[in-house]
Structure 1
Amino acid sequence: MPGKGLRLHDRSIFGVARKQFMLKSIIEKQDAAVVASVERTPSVRWVLASLSLSMLLSSLGTSIANVGLPTLAQAFNASFQQVQWVVLAYLLAITTLIVSVGRLGDITGRRRLLLAGIFLFTVASILCGIAPTLWFLIAARAAQGLGAAIMMALTMAFVGETVTKAKLGGAMGLLATMSAVGTALGPSLGGILIAGFGWRTIFLVNVPLGIAAFLLAHRTLPVDRRGPRTNSAGFDPVGTLLLALTLAAYALAMTMGRGSFGVLNMALLLAAALGVGLFVRAEAKAASPLIRLAMFRDRSLSASLAMSALVSTVMMATLVVGPFYLSRALGLDAALVGLVLSAGPFAAALAGVPAGRMADRFGAQRMTIVGLIGMAAGCFILSMLPAPPGILGIAGYIAPIVVVTVGYALFMTANNTAVMADIRADQRGVISGMLSLSRNLGLITGASVMGAVFALASRAADISTARPEAVATGMRITFAVAAMLIVVALAIAVASRARASRHSLSADVS
């Protein structure tokens, strides 16, 4: 019996040793799997580089075509009203589809959709470059705009997914910087390419950049998670169509007629208003709505979207008023006008990353208010600005414009950070698309409304032939209106922050 007990004891020792060995093997395998997973996980820096290049491409596509419109009118023997569709087709495609593609990314996977968007943008750029007719070029620009909408909607969503909350502001600032760089680079690069190589190169220049963006994104972006497809039937075709038609009607109402508001514009506005009603009704009944109407009960989100639209409306005033004020009131030639106009985007590009870091350090809501205060101060200065000739006039215009654009960079970075910080993973695409949509709607509205204010304040039938004094007066009144819009946005921001503070205090008490 003692021998039997010994054998049992030995067996138990061997059993424990075997279990320990097996447990050690499992742990080593798990450690190896973790190490392999870490090795396969792309660096956040490379992910941000990929997203930044996508943002640069989409913003460059917006600004580079404007400088080529006179050349395109000559090349295709077309009127300005016809060639302006080269720009409008791109903007309309982005505006009408950006929310829908954001939602589609939430459902199907953001990586594969972003790669498809970059591919489409690149192929459409080739088609633009070889376009035999104007209408072929316009159709290719619409396809290019769809690719740009995908890139714009999903870049911010990817940032929210790959960057920690503590560093989200810095990443948003980097995207804002690349957007500003693309906007500033477009006119100057386009002018050089047209002068040296012809108008086709302003589209073909996107091809090598698009290929680089595709390869970088393919290599660095995290693979889409393959979880249970609980929302595989979550796309809303009726809501998508209604929203696209509504936004198209509004965008056309704001852009057609070059500032004159006629019967067609009013009809399009009425169609847009009807479309809003139908869209709300359809979303209330949809099983998986494109935009959940309940999200607008979140007052912070609604406030952020409203502020983004107001601020973008004001920023368009700098693009509408600036060229006429510099050329007519200050008497600058075209080259100097272009140089002065680039000061604002250049300042925004320099301010983007520091603005993001400030949002991370001091809080996004606080920096939103600081950015709005800067914009209001710059607009008030412009509303009282005299128009002295020479260097004094140029410096007097550049200084407040830089204040406005730096304030804009700080506001947009902080506002986007505040919105994207606490969004559920399955809503990042659609919320990112809504932020971009609010910005685009503001720009479109500003082009029409601020242009109409400028023309009315100048009291000139044709602003291009108005007297310098009238143009200077129009500029001052336009920026006075812009300052009032920023004050409204500032009031919304202060109220939103106060409401958030009260909510936080009540949560701590309970």
Structure 2
Amino acid sequence: MSPHSDSATGHRQHRTGGEDGTASAGAHRPAVRWVLAGLSLSVLLSALGTGIAPVGLPTLAKVFSASFQEVQWVVLAYLLAVTSLVVGVGRLGDLVGRRRLLLAGISLFTAASALCAAAPTLWLLVGARAAQGVGAAVMMTLTMAFVGETVPKERTGSAMGLLAAMSAVGTALGPSLGGALLAGFGHQALFLVNVPLGIAAFLLSHRHLPADRPARGADGARFDHLGALLLALTSAAYALAMTLGGGRLGAPSTALLLAAGCGVAFFVRVESRAASPLVRGALLRDPVIGPGLASSALVSTVMMATLVVGPFYLSRTLGLGAAPVGLVLSVGPLVAAVTGVPAGRLADRFGARRMTLLGLLSMTAGALVLSLTPVSLGVLGYVAPLAVVTAGYAVFQTANNTAVMADVGPDRRGAVSGMLGLSRNLGLVTGASVMGAVFAHASASADIASASPGAVATGMRFTFLVASALTLVALATVAAVGRTEGRTEGRPTEDQAA
């Protein structure tokens, strides 16, 4: 085992390079920087598509003479498309070729962005945003899958860190860039900004990504259409229940949750009988992949607490105006952007599992400090532990992605990358709803926007106490991997297990 090997996961046969398509230490080296440039732009675009639209909702409501509930679908259509399709498009890339599918996704995203800008009606805009979300699902999923194919294994962590940093940059840039474009050029600019970036991402990817190889496998693997449809509908039902319910279990949300539960049961049954399943049971039983997906969902749930609680605490309790609140909230994504690449290098050097644990410990410590923060410490008392939480998240995300993707065979990288994206997105929508409900309940106020400063402070502290408990659960989940791994050395790979 090389000095750069992860002590928990090791580098088994899928990471040895050669004929399976995995990048060896010398493969593709001259083009790696250009490959990463194209992949980074794709990640930036998908993150920007998520973060830039919400700032334009008040303007869109005026332009189209629509209610807030109606213009909210501009955000929801994108979110639902991404959440419901990430696993399916990842598996499709494994079968038809990741390069051609990624180029198609970039093209769709770019064309849909232009259509969003030109849309004469709200519902055409919503449809264009859904198409944009389909393209984003492809870009978010396949960029990570390409790392194992194009980057030398000793630099995998650094590459994952770069992609995580670009995602954070897109998230941080969205609100501020959107506000500037909205003020200077109108709502069309929110979408037109993607067009030149999309063209650049397409040209870089077309020029430098390796050609697709024919899918391997004697069984002539086919795309699992029924499994993909069931997973898409189930994910969409859950995301709608969490988003539209706002943390309250009304009749529509309850019905959607029941539908999602039935969808899970049907999906498991279909996958157990499929000749070429979308998600193999061996993947979820893997002692690294299963806990990695679970901890990713938990951590994403926690990260939404910073977006749910932060604006109210900063404005209601600390008395900040809109501009200072936006500035303070941008600290978190900026910290993640700065931390991403160094975190990847540390994962390459010290092992992904160790850095995953370190990231979770940092998140737990930061959340605990926030749960104890007195109002008298002001903005600094909130920002400093928030920076610790966000830096820990950047370390966790980079190391966890590296560990989960480390030993996945080339014919399943897209599917596993999609599962990582799905776990993250489901965690985000769960956090927006559940952590929002926890915050409102702890504040003991029917309308959090009019709650007293003291009530909001109490709600903030309790919410981050719950957040620290969730990160402890994630920490215990990942820590158990080391004990399990020691007992499963030499186990069959997921391809053999299937």
What TM-score, normalized by structure 1, do the two folds share?
0.89
Tell me the residue number matched to 2:408. 423
Are the equivalent residues in 2 in contact too, given 1:107–1:232 (CA < 8 A)? no
Tell me the residue number matched to 1:311. 299
Aligned partner (choices 238, 241, 249) of residue 250 of structure 1: 238
Tell me the residue number matched to 1:360. 348
Matching of residues 109-120 of structure 1 within 5 Å: 109-120=97-108
Report the secondary structure of 2:210's partner residue: coil
Tell me the residue number matched to 1:475. 460
Tell me the residue number matched to 1:173. 161
The code of the aligned residue for 1:211 comes to I
CA RMSD of aligned residues (A): 1.7
Tell me the residue number matched to 2:11. none
The code of the aligned residue for 1:102 comes to G
Q: Distance in 2 between matches of 1:156 and 1:89?
A: 23
Note the alpha carbon deviations across 1:260-303, whole angstroms, 9 max, x for none: 32011000000000000111111111111111122222122110
Tell me the residue number matched to 1:73. 61
Q: Distance in 1 between matches of 2:336 and 2:277?
A: 36
Tell me the residue number matched to 2:3. none
Q: Distance in 1 between matches of 2:444 and 2:186?
A: 39
1:401 partnered with 2:386: yes
Note the alpha carbon deviations across 1:61-109, whole angstroms, 9 max, x for none: 0000011111111111111111111001001000000000000000000
Report the secondary structure of 1:425's partner residue: coil
Structure 1 gap segments, 5+ residues each: 1-37
Q: Distance in 2 between matches of 1:118 and 1:187?
A: 22
Note the alpha carbon deviations across 1:151-196, whole angstroms, 9 max, x for none: 0110000001111221100000000000000000000000000000
Report the secondary structure of 1:43's partner residue: helix
Comparing 228-237 with 493-502, greater Cα deviation is found at 228-237
Q: Distance in 2 between matches of 1:196 and 1:121?
A: 24
Matching of residues 78-157 of structure 1 within 5 Å: 78-157=66-145
The alpha carbon displacement at 1:421 in A equals 1.1
The alpha carbon displacement at 1:230 in A equals 4.6
Aligned partner (choices 433, 439, 443) of residue 458 of structure 1: 443
Comparing 290-299 with 53-62, greater Cα deviation is found at 290-299
Q: Distance in 2 between matches of 1:40 and 1:171?
A: 14
Matching of residues 337-348 of structure 1 within 5 Å: 337-348=325-336
1:223 partnered with 2:219: no
The alpha carbon displacement at 1:256 in A equals 0.3
Are the equivalent residues in 2 in contact too, given 1:42–1:220 (CA < 8 A)? no
Q: Distance in 1 between matches of 2:282 and 2:396?
A: 26
Report the secondary structure of 1:299's partner residue: coil
Larger Rg: 1
Tell me the residue number matched to 2:23. none
Are the equivalent residues in 2 in contact too, given 1:102–1:153 (CA < 8 A)? yes
Q: Distance in 2 between matches of 1:237 and 1:223?
A: 25
Tell me the residue number matched to 1:322. 310
Identity %: 68
Note the alpha carbon deviations across 1:441-494, whole angstroms, 9 max, x for none: 000000000000000000111000110000000000000000000011111111
1:43 partnered with 2:28: no
1:57 partnered with 2:45: yes
Are the equivalent residues in 2 in contact too, given 1:107–1:231 (CA < 8 A)? no
Q: Distance in 2 between matches of 1:497 and 1:41?
A: 32
Higher relative contact order (CA closer than 8 Å, sequence separation 6+): 2
Tell me the residue number matched to 1:29. none
What TM-score, normalized by structure 2, do the two folds share?
0.91
Give the direction of change, closer, same or farther, for the CA distance of 1:174–1:231 in structure 2 (3 Å limit). farther
1:292 partnered with 2:277: no
Note the alpha carbon deviations across 1:383-427, whole angstroms, 9 max, x for none: 001112xxx411111000000000000000000000111110000
When the two structures are aligned, how many residues end up with a matched partner?
Answer: 467
Structure 2 gap segments, 5+ residues each: 1-25, 493-498
Q: Distance in 1 between matches of 2:236 and 2:418?
A: 16
